Structure 1
Amino acid sequence: MLFSHDTEHALQIVVDLVNTGPPATTAEHLPDLPSLQRFVEVNRLSDARDLDADDLSATHGLRDRLHEVFRTADDKESAVRLINAIIAEARISPRLTDHDEWDWHVHYFAPGARLAEHLAAEGGIALAYVIAADELDRLRVCEAPDCSRVLVDLSRNRCRRYCDSRTCGNRMHVAAYRARQRESAAR
């Protein structure tokens, strides 16, 4: 494990958030409050309650800013500026906590923070850890030509290239296999 469990969890939430809408995907997957509530439940976000239209709007805005981090991941200075701006706008109140089935871990969002601020604090700090560990190249956009989803490559050997091995990865491997078969048959 490269990062702590809570950092990896926050990074996965960042990826899941960015991949809910354009430009990572052609469809809007957070169009309304029920979908935002499902996002909170699926990602097991603690202390995210009483969501309203402002939460949805602010979360969409944060999603766009987080996506920009992935698009500039080859430029450390730009990524640092973006991440620092995200963190600076969030009320951060680091504290140790153990809840649900999780052991002790650190929450960075201030108690009572709205959802976007919660996501900005947790996700921003997690992304800051990636940069501090000189692992910025782990932030990627899927290499499938017809996919713009993002991913964090937490594999030991940094070999993850696709957002999902069952869809994009499998599709690209089958296409490469078929191309090799056609090339072999043409000889």
Structure 2
Amino acid sequence: MLFAPDTEESLNFVVALGNTEPGSSRSGEDELSTPAQLSELLTKWTYTGRIDHDEAELREVRDTRTLLRSVWVLERDEAVDVVNRMLREAKALPFLTRHDQLDWHMHATSPDAPLAERIRAEVGLAFTDVIRMNEMGRLRICAADDCDGLVLDLSRNGSKRFCSVRCGNRMNMIAFRERKAGS
């Protein structure tokens, strides 16, 4: 096991959230442009507590998406300052909780805090694990030429390069065609 289950869950959420941006989304469009799209994302990635389902919340989550994508590509020492600021601004006070079907895991803010603040605090905690374990190299951008999707590499040997099978297959087909043309 590389990270605790709640850390992996938060990091996977960052991938899902980050990959709603144009250029990394499957459609090429912004897949987080309406409150309904945010609600759909939250059916796959559960956040307990306050959810307003309004335009203001959507704007805050989109701003958080931009921030989290920027942290994703930082070097370890650079990430520390940003992550510390995220936790400080959220007034994060980590605590253990168990709810729904989930075993003990960490939350860092009140369930009444705005959704974007809770996202930043919980992802900030996940980033602290990544930083402490010196595993920032597990957070990548897709190696496909025309994709900037986020990649979380949880493989044993740290060799995951693409955000999806689709990108991997496309790049492999391009490489195959280039080899065939060169023969």
TM-score normalised over the length of structure 2: 0.91
Q: Secondary structure at the match of 1:54?
A: helix
Q: Secondary structure at the match of 2:102?
A: coil
- When the two chains are superposed, the root-mean-square deviation of aligned CA atoms in Å is 1.6
Match of residue 174 from structure 1: 173
Pairing of 1:95-174 with structure 2 (within 5 A): 95-164=95-164, 166-174=165-173
Unmatched tracts of structure 1, length 5 or more: none
Equivalent pair of 2:97/2:106 in contact (CA under 8 Å): yes
Equivalent pair of 2:23/2:147 in contact (CA under 8 Å): no
Report deviation, 1:38: 1.0
Between the aligned residues of both structures, percent identity stands at 38
Equivalent pair of 1:91/1:117 in contact (CA under 8 Å): no
Match of residue 49 from structure 1: 51
Equivalent pair of 2:83/2:128 in contact (CA under 8 Å): yes
Report deviation, 1:23: 5.8
Match of residue 28 from structure 1: 30
Q: Which runs of 4+ in 1 moved over 3 A?
A: 22-26
Q: Secondary structure at the match of 1:101?
A: coil
Q: Secondary structure at the match of 1:160?
A: coil
Q: Distance in 1 between matches of 2:9 and 2:103?
A: 13
TM-score normalised over the length of structure 1: 0.89
Supply the AA of the counterpart residue of 2:11.
Answer: L
Unmatched tracts of structure 2, length 5 or more: none
How many pairs are equivalent?
A: 181
